[in-house]
Structure 1
């Protein structure tokens, strides 16, 4: 009889589960037999999670306090994915701060009291650089501040705090207000032209399933990760290689046989544009993770795959 791993994390609580990355994470956790709980708001759209609603525990942050939720769920680990990009011009700065700073700090502070072993925070490649990202300054600054405050809270508990710094994720059923879904929709519809920057920015594009596997690797191998007093451990998630944004756009254009003209150079670069970013992935590779999808495979699955593909694997 196989001896059960006493160090295994079994009950995983997830924030941001209804979003693009979130529903892929939930799909994989459910498929691998984890007990999963999600934190949501009254206004959260659960449609992406329809195949899993009977298989997960759902907690409403508008009707329950965080200590009540943690008491009820008895989680081993928390994956924090929820974020507010502050894309809307009408979005109050206080809303971004509440979502990206106050909420996760409250969750982390309570986690130390409820014997949560691991807290995985989701971060962005925007913040590898000292200046807040020009296109989303409030989002970028709030994520920077979060890590600083998390380091202070980490001193009060033995929880293992892991920070996943994600490069440019892509995959099926992303939010329509992001660049790649906008691009794909317009290319499919063969709009006459799309105005773009020169496209000489270099990005480390990584397919969403490989990102999900990075989260699962940390969940499964957390006991092999050394504890760091008074701080967090960071893992960068990407392929380790960057390509021109222009080349990536043209790959999608060609895959769709689109007749749309790509008008490169029509839009100026944003202030403080990031011109090159790629992940340093050796720390994750040392835990047994590596990306499984080539860029062309990821694009093909993005354009044509079932969004709930994990259930079919």
Structure 2
């Protein structure tokens, strides 16, 4: 049984990944962001909480990172600041957590001789596509402080493979959605506003296209990397199917049998040169290496998501713009 550390374990994807790993028989140490309430985010209500070791702390502390990586075999490094709009307001925070936090984890992994370090990237590093589907050779474009911090973190991770022979691979998931996602993302924003009963909802630009993947499919993509014997590689995780945000809105309204008025909210629009208009994944590299492919359709994933948001609507401030 391998001992696996998951950073960002209290978050959306991280909590699902921890549960998936536990179900597969792995011993999981889950890192939750420290807070004085001893609150473990989405892990609090996990049916598998008793099967994990939860530790609270901060990636920005190098001494802490060295301590939590001891006696671990594998690290899934998901811990990061991820909201793009907030990166416009607080770019230094993204450098501190995403770049320096990743450096701390890499150095700790090197010192503690971790056998496999799986670093989490994002499709946002590609920026607006020069061509689709986007493979791992597509140029990287820093169209927001968030994506800039993730590009830097990716390069830092690869540098530890090249310089110190640390067994690093990079998972680069395209847009992930599903239960537990924050309302800062467009799918929860649409669903929770409609479920709140309002006659009109506020959204940003509905023309961008995204490759949307249900969270459990994304987690299986991460886990498939455990079996790799070669390192220093980047692997896209995505379906290869793109939808405009207008198409997503239409499908959600169809499922909910709802028709609402759409108001374009100026504060929800990205700066002109920062918006990423098209992301569609080429995941053939991952499929060839591990046989992974997405299984859950957008409609089925949305139905599961809607059920979650119905049951947890009181936890979402749908009337507010979440950055």
Tell me if both proteins adopt one fold, taking TM over 0.5 as the criterion.
yes
Give the equivalent residue in structure 2 for 1:6: none
Q: 1:122 aligns with which of 117, 120, 140?
A: 120
- Structure 2 vs 1, CA of residues 14 and 265 (structure 1 numbering), >3 Å: closer, same or farther? closer
Matches of 1:268 and 1:94, distance apart in 2: 22
Q: 1:82 aligns with which of 74, 79, 98?
A: 79
Matches of 2:68 and 2:56, distance apart in 1: 9
The unaligned stretches of length 5 or more in structure 1 are 1-8, 308-313
Give the equivalent residue in structure 2 for 1:300: 303
1:19 maps to 2:11 = yes
1:66 maps to 2:65 = yes
C-alpha distance after superposition, 1:211-255 (max 9, x if no partner): 000011111x222xx33xxxx311111101112221111101111
Matches of 1:269 and 1:10, distance apart in 2: 42
Matches of 1:108 and 1:36, distance apart in 2: 19
- Structure 2 vs 1, CA of residues 254 and 236 (structure 1 numbering), >3 Å: closer, same or farther? same
- Structure 2 vs 1, CA of residues 106 and 89 (structure 1 numbering), >3 Å: closer, same or farther? closer
Matches of 2:151 and 2:125, distance apart in 1: 7
1:45 maps to 2:39 = yes
User: What is the deviation of 1:256?
Assistant: 1.0
Give the equivalent residue in structure 2 for 1:4: none
SS of equivalent residue, structure 1 residue 112: helix
Of the structure 1 ranges 85-94 and 14-23, higher mean CA displacement relative to structure 2 is found in 85-94
Of the structure 1 ranges 74-83 and 189-198, higher mean CA displacement relative to structure 2 is found in 189-198
SS of equivalent residue, structure 1 residue 57: strand
User: What is the deviation of 1:195?
Assistant: 3.9
C-alpha distance after superposition, 1:37-90 (max 9, x if no partner): 02233216314213333221223336962222222xx11110011111364489
SS of equivalent residue, structure 2 residue 69: helix
Give the equivalent residue in structure 2 for 1:132: 142
TM-score (norm 2): 0.81
Matches of 1:289 and 1:66, distance apart in 2: 31
Give the equivalent residue in structure 1 for 2:272: 271
- Structure 2 vs 1, CA of residues 239 and 193 (structure 1 numbering), >3 Å: closer, same or farther? same
Matches of 2:91 and 2:270, distance apart in 1: 24
Aligned residues of 1:13 and 1:36 also touching (Cα < 8 A): yes
TM-score (norm 1): 0.83
Matches of 2:299 and 2:20, distance apart in 1: 22
Matches of 1:27 and 1:139, distance apart in 2: 27
Give the equivalent residue in structure 2 for 1:222: 228
Matches of 1:180 and 1:189, distance apart in 2: 14
Matches of 1:30 and 1:84, distance apart in 2: 25
1:203 maps to 2:210 = yes
Give the equivalent residue in structure 1 for 2:241: 241
Q: 1:103 aligns with which of 90, 97, 101?
A: 101
- Structure 2 vs 1, CA of residues 285 and 88 (structure 1 numbering), >3 Å: closer, same or farther? closer
